[in-house]
Amino acid sequence: MPDKLSKSLIWVMAVACGLAVANIYYNQPLLADIGRSFHTTVERVGLVSMCTQIGYAIGMFCFVPLGDMKERRNLISILLIVVSLCLIGVATARNLLWMDLASFAVGITTVVPQIIVPLAAGLAEPRERGKVIGTVMSGLLIGILLARTVSGFVGQSFGWRSMYWIAASFMVGLGILLRMVLPKSYPDSVLSYGQLIKSIGQLILQERTLREAALIGAMQFGGFSVFWTSLTFFIERPPYHYGSSVAGLFGLVGVVGASAAPIAGRLADRFGPKKLVGFAIGITIASYMCFWLFGTQIWGLIAGVILLDMGVQGGQILNQTRIYSLIPEARSRLNTVYMVTSFLGGSLGSALGSWAWHLKEWNGVCAMGMLMIFLGFIVWGYHRIKERLILSQNRSDVSESEEV
């Protein structure tokens, strides 16, 4: 492994990813409190989470490709300062429109993790790329989960606005730290910004693996968001009667599943990630079966959360390992396509989760989450069947040519 990518630097990058990405998820355990603060309905307040994730997708499309064009350390530091200002905007929101717009702005500017991950992949040696991605992504994934725990506790103890003031101070401190420890990293590409954006469409058309991974990621993350957006509403009612702090504690449970991320990376290095993606999807489907059959019992919810995070996060590591091996000089753009698609799926899942709860409550949530994940399985299965047919045809052509 190169000297500039030491173990300590890998872990600093992992922690940075976790702290930064948490901005997207602080609102999920707080939705009920936010709704009461603005005297609105479950369906309406669910749009706050959706706005944040749509903003994140747009931010990734606009800013992450700059990682193939600009010096990355400066880019990361600037974005962290800007997102701190957007978080202050959420903390001072006085109505729902303000809340929606500020949450959207937080999403747009919280893209630092998606610049750090391809940076780490580029600094790693090829034989250890899966392991490095898995370690950095484990920080990101644990950040996603612990964000709910921290915000649930802070929201119940000090009010939901306090969480955003704290998050803004975190981003300022993180910007200073990363400015000090990250190596300067210049891109290999000499394309202009317009050419970079145009090339994203070309990558989508040219790379079948990228299209497959992105669609699977969208459905997996959509199913993930269906659950986490609806959990607070579910556990506030019988038989649980829990508040936002308990909803956040389920993030601690999810850390058990997210800890599988480095293992998924090592397995990808050893066996290849393609077939393992299907196994990860299967684990995610099993999580929703657990929610549906045993969700009214605390052990069923806990087991389901572990399986959900294990399947979704493991699948993400495997898919990213696949796409980062395609075109080294375009890793930021490949990551843009994958993550934009994933988070569009996540924002759709947030909206559908609130809608499904409104229609059929917990049964509707479980059905919607399982449907999204099963669509991802269909995409994976279709491409595996197509590959086998192509391989069979090629073998047949070779046999015919040998006979001739």
Q: What percent of the chain has pLDDT over 70?
A: 90
Statement: residue 4 has pLDDT above 70: no
Q: What's the pLDDT tens digit per position in 142-187? A: 887 788 788 888 888 898 899 999 999 999 999 999 999 888 877 7
pTM passes above 0.75: no
pLDDT band at residue 90 using 50, 70 and 90 as cut-offs: very high
Distance of CA 67 to the CA centre of its chain: 18
92-96, 303-307, 388-392: least confident range: 388-392
Across the chain, what does the average pLDDT equal?
84
- Percent helix, strand, coil in the chain, to 5, is 85, 0, 15
**Long-range CB contact pairs, 96-102, < 8 A, 24+:** 96/38, 96/40, 96/44, 96/45, 96/48, 99/34, 99/38, 99/48, 100/47, 100/48, 100/51, 101/51
Which 8-state DSSP code applies to residue 30?
A: T
Cis ω before 239 (30° cut-off from 0): yes
**What confidence category does residue 41 fall into, taking pLDDT thresholds of 50, 70 and 90?**
confident
Percent of the chain with pLDDT over 90: 30
Q: What residue spans define the domains of the chain?
A: 8-397
The 10s digit of each residue's pLDDT in 322-359 is 888 888 778 778 888 898 898 789 878 988 888 898 88
Q: Report the CATH fold assignment for 8-397.
A: Growth Hormone; Chain: A; (1.20.1250)
Q: How far is CA 78 from CA 15, 50, 110, 178, in A?
A: 18, 25, 11, 11
End-to-end CA distance of the chain: 50
State residue 281's pLDDT score.
93
Sign of the Cα pseudo-torsion (173, 176, 180, 183, in order): positive
Per the rule left: phi > 0, alpha: psi between -120 and 50, beta: everything else, 14 is alpha
Residue bearing the bigger pLDDT, 218 or 327: 218
pLDDT at position 332, please?
Answer: 79
